[in-house]
Amino acid sequence: MFGTSSKIKVEINGNEIELPEGSVLEDAIRLSNAPYRKGTAIGIFIERAGEEVADVSRYTVRTSKGEFRIELQDTPSPSRKIWMSHYAEYSNMPVRWISRDAVAFGSFASEIVPVRGNADHKRFELMFAGGLDPANTHLILVKDKHSAEYGAPEEGTFAKVISGKHVLPDLTKNDRILDIEPVTESAEAGEHICTTDLSTRLENGSRIFTYLEIEIDAEAPEGAEHLFAVTRDGTFHIDAVSSSYISDNRFQGELVTYENFESRSAGSVFVRTVGYGAGKLFIATDDRTSTIMHSVVGHVVRGLELAKMAQEGQKIMVESVPHPIMLLGMSYEEAEKEMELVGVEVVREGYMGDDGFIVTQDPATTIGILKEARVTLKGVDPEHLVRVKLYNDLVPKTLEFFRHATGMQYKPVGALAVLMTYDNTYIFKAVEKEADKYKEILPENTPGVKVAAGEIGVTNQAAKRAGMVGVKLEDNDLFGPTGEKFASTNIIGRVIETEKLRNFKDDDIMYIIESSTEDL
């Protein structure tokens, strides 16, 4: 119990709360019910005297449907100058018209010089347009890629929406801009710490950051899935820190599709797509220029201060908007309930029973599913889904190969094709990719005196058939599950439901799902 009635005020994730003097970090989290994941680092900033400095390149636009943030183009232009001089005058401005491709606010007089003719417009661009009358200028937000004549000036667009993009489709003729403010950054002197110690004592005025919220960019559906896979455990690992970014390197070596070329302003989340370091996931903590090697997949919309405080070796909690849609491993019944909540129609394919386990979804990406508001799911008889226990601590490198080969690196359900069966032995080959061509399989956790029934073996590089996967239904003290000598066999885990293997014959597909427990 606290021995005083004195109170302190702290801010946690932007929300101010009052605590008894002497409170610690755990008290603030519990009282505020703030998002927190055990073991993650939390940022604390203790303010001192100072000032706020406006960043004249980014602005927050608050509308009656929510707020979004824009970033001005680096290139000077008349439109950019007009915005910087008059942005405050666009407060309380209504939607004038709206279409499938754009929304216009206005009207107002400006000094733009309209140009005749159609022009190509990209998603989330911002421009002034007055038809042929500058006295009737509108502020136009592009919702979708299209070509049209708006009477925009020669320079065209002057800014781009960088976060809050989900607000644009929700705008109607009854909405309006409420106000516009330049983004400000604290320049005050002060002390900041990033800690996992929940007993850290808090001072009056402390600002606490427990997590990052990342808004996914609709232009990067494949990159978003990479982000979801890297942060599947709800955390971003700080494997490297520089003056302008932090990076999570757990998926280094993965090949990711390049999709979205845009400036990597502070808060941008991007992935390297080529060269050494491909697959690394980055969060920009300071402005960086665009490159053709890094594809932007999202933007931090809450908690960027935590990313700036984080230290190498720590991990921080992350949440994404939208949440990832991964239905593999669920039953039809479970998936349909979940999709009903987000207004997505489900189409069944394959095994049709309510208990069918889902092994594929089409579209495969979250962005694709939400865009179409429809997903086709393929289910299989539960007897064709096999649960396995993987030895993560014993064979990390071999499991890296195995997860690539089965597709489990990105999905909870993997697939193996039955190559042959003989004498209670089952030999499988990869369905997703021939990962042995670019993933090493060095000897790791090779058997001692025998291999137990149900253990999963992978042939290592000591033998010609490296990459083969096998399981035996009986103990064996001579050969591994793939028929190789013990020295050529890496034991990576075991099948929990060995009786299900008898359901498979040559050329069948066996679907597997990892279990953290053996008592199923």
Contact 306, 314 (CB under 8 A): no
Task: Using alpha carbons, select from 208, 236, 240 the residue that is nearest to residue 13.
Answer: 208
Token readout for 52 is: 């706020």
Identify the pLDDT of residue 150: 87
Identify the pLDDT of residue 122: 86
Residue 35 — φ and ψ, nearest 5°? -60, 130
Beta partners for 297? Answer: none
Domains of the chain are 7-50+192-208 (3.10.20.740), 54-184 (2.40.100.10), 211-321 (2.40.100.10), 332-380 (no CATH), 384-514 (2.40.100.10)
Rg of the chain in Å (alpha carbons):
27
Other CB atoms within 10 Å distance of the CB of residue 92? 9
Token readout for 417 is: 């094709």
pLDDT band for position 254 (50/70/90)? confident
* Neighbouring residues of 36: CB distance < 8 A, sequence distance ≥ 6: 29, 42, 210, 211, 317
CB-neighbour burial class of residue 90 (10 A; exposed 0-12, middle 13-18, buried 19+)? middle
Identify the pLDDT of residue 56: 75
Token readout for 114 is: 């309209």
Q: Residue 216 and residue 270: Cα distance in Å, rounded?
A: 11
Identify the pLDDT of residue 253: 86
Contact 348, 331 (CB under 8 A): no
* Neighbouring residues of 323: CB distance < 8 A, sequence distance ≥ 6: 366
The reply to whether omega before 134 is within 30° of 0 (cis) is no
pLDDT > 70: percent of the chain: 94
pLDDT band for position 185 (50/70/90)? low
Other CB atoms within 10 Å distance of the CB of residue 388? 21
pLDDT band for position 518 (50/70/90)? very low
**Residue range 437-468, pLDDT digits in tens:** 556 789 999 998 899 999 999 999 888 888 89
Token readout for 487 is: 């020295």
Identify the pLDDT of residue 2: 47
Q: Residue 347 and residue 374: Cα distance in Å, rounded?
A: 8
Q: What is the mean pLDDT of residues 257-269?
A: 87
**In angstroms, how far is CA 355 from the centroid of its own chain?**
29
Averaged pLDDT of the chain = 89
Q: What is the mean pLDDT of residues 260-287?
A: 90
Identify the pLDDT of residue 370: 95
Residue 275 φ/ψ region, left for φ over 0, alpha for ψ in the -120 to 50 degree band, beta for the rest:
left
Taking the CA of residue 27 as centre, how many other CA atoms within 13 Å lie in the half-sphere pointing to its CB? 18
Stretch (H or E) spanning 193: strand 190-195
Give residue 373's identity as a one-letter amino acid code: A
Contact 240, 391 (CB under 8 A): no
Cα–Cα separations (whole angstroms), residue 329 to 14, 392, 408, 412, 463: 37, 20, 11, 7, 34
User: Is it the case that residue 229 has pLDDT exceeding 50?
Assistant: yes
Identify the pLDDT of residue 296: 93
User: Is it the case that residue 280 has pLDDT exceeding 90?
Assistant: yes
Token readout for 92 is: 């309380």
**Residue range 299-340, pLDDT digits in tens:** 998 999 999 999 999 999 999 999 999 999 999 999 999 999
**Residue range 22-81, pLDDT digits in tens:** 999 999 999 999 999 999 999 999 876 555 555 578 899 999 998 898 989 888 889 999
User: Is it the case that residue 292 has pLDDT exceeding 90?
Assistant: no
